[in-house]
Amino acid sequence: MKQVQLGGSNWKASSVALGIMRMNVLSPEKAASVLDSAYDDGIDFIDSADIYGQGKSEEVFGEALKQAKVNRDQLYIQSKIGIVVDPKRSHGSLVFGKRYDFSKEHLLSAVDSILQRL
Task: Judge whether 76 counts as a catalytic residue.
Answer: no
Give the single-character DSSP code of 53.
G
| Active-site residue, from 39, 52, 76, 100 | 52
| Contacts of residue 44, Cβ cutoff 8 Å, sequence gap at least 6 | 13, 14, 74, 75, 76
Check: CB of residue 24 under 8 Å from CB of residue 60: yes
CA pair distance 91, 80, nearest whole angstrom? 23
Q: Which residues are catalytic?
A: 52
